Structure 1
């Protein structure tokens, strides 16, 4: 048997293309990929299926919903052309920033050649995007974020103070804090309606809870901080919302999203440029965690996340702390 003839298990196939087994199962449920069945009924993936999975992953990276991907795979090109145009715009924006950075380095080198030393503080450090004294239960230690990502996932165990941190971040950013008392808006703005359409195409279930959280995330250009984004949403909607968040990139208003579900924060599929912020149980200073197994804090974040079914069993639990 040659390497090209190898058939992979679901776990091996998912790992090969860098997605979760859960995402692979979702693609199958939506009819985007059909595995080969062995005599005993086990699912396997050969070269043809792996090529199809890579195609789907590439289209997801461009921001297409599963419904749009199904249309593209059936031969329709409108959604793909629109997605490519948006992706081109994002790339051109990144290129502009890179060219500016190259020009700054050129100026610094020119200064050096003429005997003028560049300002080292300007050369190696930039002011943090966010800096604030931490509220209780911390001891006013300074917390800083070097940059605001399109999406920052805020994770921590019960009683870690993450809600207080979220509220303090919203105030420091001059944005808005969207708490759990969010009510369904009378009318969604046009931008939110467009995103709702994408979510529904991706399998979300329309509900007052979805409309409320979407209004809080989309209706403002300033940074927004969202408390427990999955509150009141079923599993299908949480999965679609996780995919929607992963589409966000440079140019989108930054979001800080508190979550405790693996449906929203899939550690195997975190988008490049997105961030994970962890609040330790011992109330040490929150820190950023890389979505890489074995990196500091990774296991702690993974242990805070659960499936929607598991999270539902702990719904309503509140950690009691002194005021």
Structure 2
């Protein structure tokens, strides 16, 4: 048997494609990918299945929902036109950003050619970053005032820790310190009128939210006030950075998974999001990308630390122990640490 004829197990195929085994199973459930079976009944992925899976992974990378992928695979002409138009718009945005950067480089080279050395700050401005200056502050209670520094702001940051670890206080301090940041608390679950009023006052926002909601529903999520409140905050022009308290609250598992797929499909220009979570449907450690980061608050109130999503990495096992399925998470919904002499609560 040649390498071209080889059949892969689910874990081997997932490693080859750069996706999780869960993703392969989801593609199978949707009818996009039908693995063959070994003589003992185990799933196997041969050349045809691997080729189809690569196509699906590529379409996901373009930002397509599962429903859109289904229509593209069915050769839906209207859907293909919509996909190409959206991709063209994204490319034009990226080209405009590159042209701006090229103009900056050209101007600096002209200065250098005229015998004027560019300022170091001008050179540093050429580096792509949505956080020009590192953010640093003294950690609030329950820490001991240690200095905390965030050098890079990822497109998506997860803030995780056990109960009473202080992660909500960390999130609020980050909101106070990050430029143009806003905090979306749990009041969003009861004050739905505020989100709906924003939609009524801003037709453009309403259109963006409707498009995002359609994507989430197509991906298996359920339309709800909790989803709507999140999308209004995500799609609004301000704040520029969004910090979300317990992002999974009010969402069932399919909605959590669809929301995460939506957050990951957003373009490079989308606002950075920092979200507190204890749900493994929100923070799937096997699905973390290079555009994402994990901040872990230890139970012993050691300073928060960035944790790499790999078994054996410092803090990984403690981090993983804080995550649970949505069903298990529901048992502790609303449980917070409370300290009467403190002004706010800490999840």
TM-score between the two structures when normalised by the length of structure 2:
0.81
What displacement does 1:206 show? 0.9
- Within the candidate set 213, 223, 233, 1:216 is matched to 233
Which stretch shows the higher mean deviation, 20-29 or 270-279? Answer: 270-279
1:163 maps onto 2:181 in alignment: no
Q: Is the 8 A contact 2:108 2:118 kept in 1?
A: no
**Correspondence for 1:43:** 43
Which stretch shows the higher mean deviation, 43-52 or 170-179? Answer: 170-179
Distance 1:146 1:99, change over 3 A: farther
Aligned counterparts of 1:15 and 1:282: Cα–Cα separation in 2: 35
What displacement does 1:212 show? 1.9
SS at structure 2 position matched to 1:181: helix
TM-score between the two structures when normalised by the length of structure 1:
0.86
Aligned counterparts of 1:7 and 1:133: Cα–Cα separation in 2: 54
Unaligned segments of structure 2, at least 5 residues = 200-205, 343-347
Distance 1:118 1:87, change over 3 A: closer
**Correspondence for 1:186:** 196
1:69-102: per-residue Cα shift (whole Å, max 9, x none)?
1111111312330342244145425635764786
- Within the candidate set 214, 218, 232, 1:197 is matched to 214
1:133 maps onto 2:151 in alignment: no
1:21-78: per-residue Cα shift (whole Å, max 9, x none)?
1121111111111111234432211111111111111111111100111111111312
What displacement does 1:208 show? 1.6
1:78 maps onto 2:96 in alignment: no
Aligned counterparts of 1:283 and 1:101: Cα–Cα separation in 2: 45
What displacement does 1:275 show? 2.3
Distance 1:192 1:116, change over 3 A: closer
- Aligned-residue RMSD, C-alpha: 3.1
**Correspondence for 1:291:** 309
1:147 maps onto 2:152 in alignment: yes
Q: Is the 8 A contact 1:18 1:268 kept in 2?
A: no
Distance 1:68 1:118, change over 3 A: same
1:99-152: per-residue Cα shift (whole Å, max 9, x none)?
4786698689x59xx797975997699953433322111222232222322222
Aligned counterparts of 2:86 and 2:321: Cα–Cα separation in 1: 35
